[in-house]
Chains A and B, each alone.
Chain A
Amino acid sequence: MSTPGSWIICEKSGRWAAALRVSLERRKHTPFTSRILETRSLAELDLAIKEHKAAFVLVEVRPESMADVLSFLTKRNWGTAQVVAMLEFGGERSTDFRLATDALLEAGAIEVIESSRQLGAVLEIAERQPQNYWTEHTGTIADRAWAALPWQDGQ
């Protein structure tokens, strides 16, 4: 069953998960709960997405894992989950970065970031997801009917 508000992070170090926790705490107005699942390999990530098909996914990409991540993204069998790629290329390789970004976006990542400072922009995108995905694909008929009514905020 899908769990709205789940974040799944696939990375080696745990650095991005820590940054995400801080970012979520700072944005207290975030409209969904912030459950973060950490995975350490693409195989673990695959299993986690099967359990949480509407999750928001952050996946770390290193030069040596580029091929595997591209292959993972192109499988496109993870339901409504959205994937953001986090580049860990190091150094000043702007050409490599641009090439990798283009390929990852083309493969299906909705955004590519290279710094945890860019997580704010990712949270903004994620906050649009509940309106667009989770309400469409989860909840009872009554929930969906209620969500479709106008003047939800009482104005």
Chain B
Amino acid sequence: MARALAPADSFAKLLDESSRPVYVVDAQRRIVYCNVALAEWMDLPPKRIVGRRVEYHSEEQKSDEKVRDDTAPLTDLCPSPRALAGEAGAGTISCQARDGRMLHRAAEFVPLDSWAGKKRKQPSDGKDPQLFAVLVLLAREEMSPQEIASGVVSQGSADELHRTIRRFRRGQSSHYSIKSLLGSSSAMKKVRSQVDAAAASGANVLIFGNLGSGRAHIARAIHYKNAADDAKLLPVDCRLMTDDLMTRTLDRLRPSSNTSGPRAALLLENLESLPAAHQSQLLAALRENWISARILATFSTQAPAVEVEVKASDDVVFHAEHAVEEAQPATSGVLTALVDLVSTILIRVPRLADRVEDLPVLAQFFLEAHNRSSSKQVGSIRADALDALALYRWPGELEQLRETVEAAHDACASHEIVPSELPPLIHRASHAAAHSRKEPERIVLDELLASIEKEAILRALAQAGGNKSEAASLLGMTRPRFYRRLVQLGLAGESAENGEATEVPEFIEHDATE
């Protein structure tokens, strides 16, 4: 007699015989079961599907290699966010066929709650049931293009919102790629390698640089570098922080009891401007683990800098300048502690003026970006105009360069920007550079004053015919003080100080007798 199957096994066997593709995603967004029909639809064996994560947020452009790579997440199998939040519903699930075509099937999402399945009774504490899995049932047939189009309309805002956010995040990942950190200077190469290391480490990162230097762009590049990371990014400008905004920010990062997604990232822009009370609040939240977030912070280096060294890991050490105490002496204790906590890795963004070799490619980038939003198309910036741009010191960094290029684009009368079409500020910088500034004379005050005194004494002696008493009188000095100064200034020997000798230098005697 055949041995009876366990209930779970018999249920799995039933599903395996189903012609409808079925799979189950657990609360950690891992596929814990798939039937044969799904494996056939995806053209992958079940063992290469089960155990892999499904991603919602950071879906990349689909590639066959990505699907075939057993470690990559299967982004298109991700149930809708509502289903992951415990709501039953319908949507569309896609996969890429071997020939590159996208296949789409209608899907039903059935959330499974823990207390319903395990404890068989509602919890007495009144808490919501904990989601532990989502069962996904696909239709037997592919959707036609017409069905896909009508589905987008009929499913209304929920599915469209889902698609919109996926498109948005895909665009973000592409826009903030490491390749977007333009420049071939050694300083920018170093930044790119640091960004790579920071993205791989998952550690907190502090980015130093001037306002407008692209610090936030670098922070976002670090966040979006890891394609498998579906964590949200929450940017906050510390200059605008209020009590209410701080509370809401911390609330948004509190680990939710209902989700188990990856750690979010908090991007703190201009950390040095965070008010003291909020520094303490944030420090406590991080130390006590009230919030679960990776911290990416930017910090202005416009204050005087101090060289510091921070170990990112055993084999990676970054050097950077920071200006914590100088920036906010009144709150440096808390701010320094906060910086220590978030500066596992430090990255210093070079000034544009220190990497003018990158200026042509950056200017061309901004020019082409402006072309996209303008009816006028300008092809390039002439070499002599680029030379003029390189003479300017760019206190506003990349932001100022972008504005300058846009102004020149708007003023451009042909297909190429020439020097006369650059803003007046650039002309003034060129003019100033053409007239080199005289190096200011340096003095040592004590030496200057001694030389003046010596000159006055010599003149007084000459006036008095070498008579020291009379010279002292002319200078308003007592005889003892006059003799002391003669010795101190090297005009007489030690004995002169006692008034014993009148060793006035010969040239004085000579002058006096003339």
Chain A residues at the B interface, C-beta cutoff of 8 Å: 63-64, 66-67, 70-71, 74-75, 77, 79, 82, 89, 93, 95-96, 99-103, 105-108, 110-111, 121, 124-125, 128-129, 132-133
A131's nearest neighbour on chain B, judged by CB, is: B239
Give the interface residue-count category, chain B. Answer: 35 or more
- Name the residue in B85, B168, B237 with the highest tally of chain A Cβ atoms < 10 Å from its Cβ: B168
Do B241 and A128 have beta carbons less than 8 Å apart?
yes
Return the chain B residue nearest A102 by Cβ: B232
Contact check, A67 vs B242: say whether CB atoms are below 8 A apart. no
Cβ of B233: which chain A residues have Cβ within 8 Å of it? 106
Docked Cα-Cα span, A124 to B273, in Å, equals: 16
Contacts of A66 in B (CB 8 A): 160-161, 164-165
Looking at A70, A82, A89, A108, which has the most chain B CB atoms within 10 Å of its CB? Answer: A70
Q: Which of B260-290 contact A (CB under 8 A)?
A: 273
A124-B162 Cα distance, complex, nearest whole Å: 32
> In the complex, A135→B214 CA distance in Å?
21
- The answer to whether A103 touches B244, judged by C-beta atoms less than 8 angstroms apart, is no
Q: A102 and B85: CB pair below 8 A? A: no
Q: For residue B241, which residues in chain A have a CB less than 8 angstroms away from its CB?
A: 128
Docked-complex contact B235 and A63, CB < 8 angstroms: no
B168 partner, pick from A79, A82, A103, beta carbons under 8 A: A103
Tell me, yes or no, whether B373 is within 8 Å of chain A by CB: yes
Which residues of chain B are near A77, meaning CB under 8 Å? 373, 402
**A58, B242: Cα distance in complex, Å:** 18
Chain B hits for A125, CB < 8 A: 240, 242, 245
Residue of B nearest to A128 (CB): B240
- Residues of B close to A93: CB separation below 8 A: 158
- Residue on B nearest A66 in the bound complex, by CB: B164
Which residues of chain B from 449 to 483 have any CB-CB distance to chain A below 8 Å in the complex?
none
Q: Give A108 to B219 CA distance when docked, in angstroms.
A: 13
B410 to chain A, nearest CB (A): 11
Q: Which residues of B contact A129 (CB under 8 A)?
A: 240
A122: shortest Cβ distance to chain B, in Å?
A: 9
Other A-B pairs beyond A89-B157, A110-B237, 20, CB < 8 Å: A66-B160, A66-B161, A66-B165, A71-B168, A75-B373, A77-B402, A95-B81, A102-B232, A103-B164, A103-B168, A106-B172, A106-B233, A106-B234, A121-B244, A121-B245, A124-B244, A124-B245, A125-B245, A129-B240, A133-B239
Task: Name B residues whose Cβ lies closer than 8 Å to a Cβ of A.
Answer: 81-82, 85, 87, 157-158, 160-162, 164-165, 167-169, 171-172, 175, 232-237, 239-245, 248, 252, 273, 373, 402-403
Task: State which of B160, B232, B239 has its C-beta within 8 Å of the C-beta of A128.
Answer: B239
Judge whether B172 and A132 touch: CB under 8 Å: no
Nearest-CB residue, chain B, relative to A113: B248
Nearest opposing residue in chain B for A62, CB measure: B157
Q: Is the CB of B161 within 8 A of A96?
A: yes
- Across the interface, which residues of B come within 8 angstroms of A133, CB to CB? 239
Contact A63 B161 (CB under 8 A): yes
Contact check, B161 vs A100: say whether CB atoms are below 8 A apart. Answer: yes
Assembly CA distance A102 to B160 (angstroms)? 16
Q: Is the CB of A64 within 8 A of B157?
A: yes
Q: Is the CB of B244 within 8 A of A132?
A: no
Question: Are A70 and B164 within 8 A (Cβ)?
Answer: yes
B176 to chain A, nearest CB (A): 10
Contact A96 B158, beta carbon cutoff 8 Å:
yes
Of the candidates B160, B172, B244, B403, which one forms a contact with A63 in the assembled complex, judged by CB atoms under 8 Å apart?
B160
Please state if A132 and B239 are interface contacts (CB–CB under 8 Å).
yes
Q: Which residues of B contact A132 (CB under 8 A)?
A: 239-240, 273
Q: Pick the contact of A107 from B168, B239, B242 — CB < 8 Å?
A: B168
Given A95-B85, A111-B245, A74:B171 Cβ within 8 A: yes
Among B167, B237, B402, B403, the residue within 8 A (CB) of A67 is B167
Nearest residue, chain B, Cβ from A112: B248
Point out the residues of chain A lying under 8 angstroms from B236, CB to CB: 110
Min Cβ gap B493→A in Å is 55
Name the residue of chain B whose CB is nearest to the CB of A73.
B168
Within the complex, the shortest CB–CB distance from B513 to chain A, in Å, comes to 60
Contact, CB under 8 Å: A74 / B172: yes
Cβ of B165 and Cβ of A103 under 8 Å apart? yes
Select which of A67, A79, A82 is within 8 A of B164 by beta carbon: A67
